[in-house]
């Protein structure tokens, strides 16, 4: 496990040439942050939203091409309904409060997962945010909502199977690239760096296909405490790794 330390420089050491194209983050530790302070879990989630703001701004300033955040998994429905309701409320607030800044910074919003399972008003907010930023040419901010990688891969392979049954494609032509083309992230580059906060060392059904060759970084820092310096430290660590993709 790599203990991230705050760096006095908030610019990656190697510069733009060493940046990953796609960074994905499992934002974990909101509940533990709140528990350590004897606060309700929603207080941790609120501080987590503040961390999202910091990281999105910094990622855009640095010049990341894609940042994906695991905001709500398909398994999160198992949490108490009060907590799920709080999370949905925070998502509404984030969109309403931050969309102008995000859109003004040239960020393009994408969503992966079945967010249409949410309440109608929230679905409309998400749809409007996607549409409003669709023509932006800056960083792509991908938000995983009601997302699970197993389900995504199953949907992709089912779509290819249906096309094969209809005679549109030859089953023998189904390759890894064909599956990639059916995923929610079809036009997004694969994950180069996957970060998980809070000390857990699991992928938790997140971008399993897309992260096949990703560098993994696990930090004990709880998500509400993850800031600009921690992001830069993670990017610096990435720049020092040698990626061979199975070669020499």
Supply the residues annotated as catalytic. 28, 76
199 is in an annotated binding site: no
30 assigned to a ligand binding site: yes
Residue 215 is labelled as binding a ligand: yes
Residues 6+ apart with CB under 8 A from 185: 112, 142, 207, 210
- Flag whether 32 is marked binding: yes
Instruction: Flag whether 33 is marked binding.
Output: yes
Distance CA 229, CA 54 (A): 10
Answer yes or no: is 136 a known binding residue.
no
**Is 203 known to sit in a ligand binding site?**
yes
Instruction: Name which of 215, 219, 214 is nearest 233 in CA terms.
Output: 219
The answer to the question of whether 45 is labelled as a binding residue is yes
On whether 239 is known to bind a ligand per the annotation, the reply is no
Q: How far apart are the first and last CA of the chain?
A: 25
DSSP state of 146: E
**184 annotated to bind ligand:** no
Alpha helices in the chain (DSSP H): 30-36, 41-62, 81-104, 120-133, 149-165, 176-180, 228-239
Q: Residue 209, Cβ neighbours under 10 Å: how many? A: 17
Q: Is 148 annotated as a binding residue?
A: no
Length of the chain equals 248
User: Which H/E stretch holds residue 110?
Assistant: strand 108-112
Q: How far apart are CA 89 and CA 86, in angstroms?
A: 5
Residue numbering of the annotated binding site = 28-33, 41, 45, 73-75, 77, 79, 196, 202-204, 215
Mark the binding-site residues for substrate, compressed into ranges. 29-33, 41, 45, 73-75, 77, 79, 196, 202-204
In the annotated binding site for Mg(2+), the residues are 28, 215
């Amino acid at each position: 496990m790599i203990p991230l330390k705050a760096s006095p420089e908030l610019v990656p050491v190697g510069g733009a040439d060493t940046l990953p194209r796609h960074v994905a983050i499992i934002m974990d530790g909101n509940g533990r942050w709140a528990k350590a302070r004897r606060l309700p879990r929603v207080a941790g989630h609120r501080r987590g939203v503040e961390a999202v703001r910091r990281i999105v701004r910094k990622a855009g300033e640095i010049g990341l091409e894609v940042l994906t955040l695991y905001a709500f998994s398909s398994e999160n429905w198992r949490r108490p309904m009060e907590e799920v309701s709080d999370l949905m409320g925070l998502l509404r607030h984030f969109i309403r409060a931050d969309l102008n800044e995000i859109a003004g910074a040239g960020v393009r919003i994408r969503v992966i997962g079945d967010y249409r399972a949410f309440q109608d008003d929230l679905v409309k907010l998400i749809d409007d945010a996607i549409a409003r930023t669709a023509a932006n040419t800056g960083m792509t901010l991908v938000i995983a909502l009601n997302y699970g990688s197993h389900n995504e891969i199953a949907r992709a392979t089912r779509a290819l199977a249906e096309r094969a049954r209809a005679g549109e494609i030859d089953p023998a032509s189904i390759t890894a690239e064909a599956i990639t083309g059916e995923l929610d992230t079809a036009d997004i580059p694969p994950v180069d760096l996957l970060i998980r906060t809070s000390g857990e060392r699991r992928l938790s059904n997140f971008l399993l296909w897309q992260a096949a060759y990703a560098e993994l970084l696990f930090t004990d820092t709880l998500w509400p405490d993850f800031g600009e310096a921690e992001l830069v430290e993670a990017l610096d660590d990435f720049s020092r790794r040698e990626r061979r993709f199975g070669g020499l």
